[in-house]
Structure 1
Amino acid sequence: MLDLILPLECGGCGAPSTKWCDACATTFKVHTDEPHLVTPRIDPGVPVFALGRYAGARRQAIVAVKEHGRRDLVVPLGRALALGIHQLESWGILETPCTIVPAPTRTLAARRRGGDPVTRIAQRATKDHPGITVTQALKTKAMVRDSVGLTSADRERNLAGRIKLTKEVAGDVLLVDDIVTTGATAREAVRALQNTGAKVRALLTLAQA
């Protein structure tokens, strides 16, 4: 009866009567060789790691969180990100204490989504890790367009010099994002952080497009 009034469906595959099915949970398992090192078309100047391809259940879950208000999916996405962070620590790429800085999102997009989903996912991922703090320290300046449909060159021009630091961040930093596409956002974010002396160790994303 409750399903008829408030129908549940899996955020990854649409299966009924569940928010997150076992099959989709399996696709988010992080294996010993993951996250994978990837090479965006635009080099951000730091290693870039992705937990999987932007496809299937992974893509659907990210879209559901960002565009359809599925805050319940922050839990499985946060768990996957937490495992990725643990892997980077075990490989010696990341050491604690450190700061996680979510990649910036456009102000209008964040307002429409009721906040920044990437920040919520990062906070969930690190809630039990006393050596890691999450700081929203980056913001896009005015006139930045939505990057959907833009070419690599257009994305680069769109973001050039338009990401600014809103809070001072010192020491080791892990930049996190939901998706890495061309690497344009990552490069400008890394520049903004490095200009104030922060040591950006890597970028970790949930998916690579």
Structure 2
Amino acid sequence: MRGWWQELVGLVLPVDCAGCGAPRAVLCDACREALCGRAARRVWPEPVPPGLPAVYAAVAYADEARSVLLAHKERGVLRLAGPLGTALASGVRAAVGGSGAWLGAGAGGGAGPLVGLGRGAGADGGVSRMWGRDADEAGGVGVGVAGGTRESRRLVLVPVPSARCAVAARGHDPSRRIAQAAAGELRRAGWPAVVCAVLRQRRPVADQTGLGARQRLDNLAGALEVAAGGERLLTAGPVLLVDDLMTTGASLVEAVRAVAAVGGRVAGAAVVAAPARAFGVSAK
């Protein structure tokens, strides 16, 4: 209810650009271009934690991008989920194009990577019609699939969950909402993407603010699990982790462990933003 109220208030009252403060624009053209107009790149935290998958980010977590992410996450400006989803979709495309794990059965049984699937990939003339409801709309577990063998063509996006107390305080789950927007963006471009929100926190964790890289790893170790019924979705083929922000990579490492614990395989990760230093020289 809080989320719906925030949406209604934003529609009725004048708002300023979440990025630069320009009047009467939820997101001005210049800030939208800064957020969505660049190709995503591979990023590395420092230090790189063991078990971190290849991560691709659309923008540096600074200036307008930082303001937009905070406005969506902390102030509940839900209309920002659309442009943030567009930025995340850029990271997804880069992650899929940069991972050999999407070859073979995980890409529909063909010889090429999933990135090569176009609108004509399905027998019905378009991959956008190959799927029923988004997995997230079915409660995070059920996926509507139009045909048995077509299920292997999925691009499965698994959002890293926020702490339950944080979701309750904010009135929405930012990562899940952005993942849904990204999946919609990808499907409109002919990519058969679904959101499988099957990761859950199995125990409380401390606030990560102020914790170092090692402390964050220890804080999150063993904190996530796969919801009952989610195993079959994570073992049908490689999955891609998605989140709004990567800082130390500890959340992604724990998500990889949780997926692997049920026999799943993480092929990579995509985020909207990462620290500016993460876009520097590649890890040695």
TM-score between the two structures when normalised by the length of structure 2: 0.67
Tell me what 1:134 maps to.
195
Check conservation: 1:50, 1:207, Cα contact below 8 A.
yes
Is it true that 1:38 corresponds to 2:43 in the alignment?
yes
Is it true that 1:196 corresponds to 2:279 in the alignment?
no
Alignment of 1:42-81 (within 5 A): 42-81=49-88
Tell me what 1:19 maps to.
26
- Structure 1 gaps of 5+ residues are none
Residue among 157, 165, 170 paired with 1:108? 165
Looking at structure 2, the residues matched to 141 and 89 of structure 1 have their Cα atoms a distance apart, in angstroms, of 29
Say what the alpha-carbon RMSD is for the aligned residues.
Answer: 1.9
* Structure with more helix by fraction: 2
Flag the 1:109–1:87 CA change in 2: closer, same or farther, 3 A.
same
Is it true that 1:165 corresponds to 2:172 in the alignment?
no
Say which SS state the counterpart of residue 62 (structure 1) adopts: helix
Q: Which has the larger radius of gyration?
A: 2
Check conservation: 2:199, 2:224, Cα contact below 8 A.
yes
Residue among 203, 208, 211 paired with 1:150? 211
Looking at structure 2, the residues matched to 122 and 191 of structure 1 have their Cα atoms a distance apart, in angstroms, of 20
TM-score between the two structures when normalised by the length of structure 1: 0.89
Looking at structure 1, the residues matched to 84 and 24 of structure 2 have their Cα atoms a distance apart, in angstroms, of 20
Looking at structure 2, the residues matched to 16 and 137 of structure 1 have their Cα atoms a distance apart, in angstroms, of 39
Displacement, 1:126?
Answer: 1.2
Identity percentage of aligned residues: 37
Of 68-77 and 155-164, deviating more is 155-164
Say which SS state the counterpart of residue 201 (structure 1) adopts: strand
Structure 2 residue identity aligned to 1:141:
R
Looking at structure 2, the residues matched to 109 and 36 of structure 1 have their Cα atoms a distance apart, in angstroms, of 29
Tell me what 2:120 maps to.
none
Of 41-50 and 197-206, deviating more is 41-50
Displacement, 1:138?
Answer: 1.0
* Structure with more strand by fraction: 1
- Structure 2 gaps of 5+ residues are 1-9, 103-113, 115-152, 276-284
Tell me what 2:95 maps to.
88
Looking at structure 2, the residues matched to 99 and 90 of structure 1 have their Cα atoms a distance apart, in angstroms, of 15
